[in-house]
Chains A and B, each alone.
Chain A
Amino acid sequence: DAGITQSPRHKVTETGTPVTLRCHQTENHRYMYWYRQDPGHGLRLIHYSYGVKDTDKGEVSDGYSVSRSKTEDFLLTLESATSSQTSVYFCAARGTGASYEQYFGPGTRLTVT
């Protein structure tokens, strides 16, 4: 599992409430990513980080923000959750070597009611 954990693993929340998902890695990977997985869409990139405090938007970033104050932690925040953000969220990480692959966490299933 390349030392990537996500918390919580499951969450049910109401529309309009803020939600923060946490990704923690123990391998000192430089790059980290947040994806959402929805049927028929595969995984789509929300935000990514290329270093501490260095983040940028992915293809589906509207309604999401991220922060990375330490190498090991990458937080995803839904400022005001909507039902369209019901999804499974995956965190991934990648080092700076020539391997190029990403290592994935176990996912967080978020339901917005």
Chain B
Amino acid sequence: QVQLQESGPGLVKPSETLSLNCTVSDDAIAGDYYWSWIRQPPGKGLEWIASISHSRSTYYNPTLKNRPTISIDTTKNQVSLRLRSVTAADTAIYFCARRSRVPASWFDPWGQGTLVTVSS
């Protein structure tokens, strides 16, 4: 079973850029899947951010207004997320997850998540 592990700084200052990595186990990153970022503000619901394939085809949540950038490095088995111009509203647990090629499909499995706090 593929495993995903998120990593990155737990604290980011307002207006700066949030950067996170997701390491995928067992070279599974080259498979026919989309690798996704999803976030959850403390005590609130889930929000899909972006997805990317091994061939670098990308999808983004339009409500985030061009702030996120998702990328993939198959040599490092990593998927990365950069989110520009963060505010306190971006404070959340950030999860990475796998999805099939079909945009309407489900996310499975998920990483354990990493908490990012935006504060000065």
Are A and B a genuine interacting pair, yes or no? no
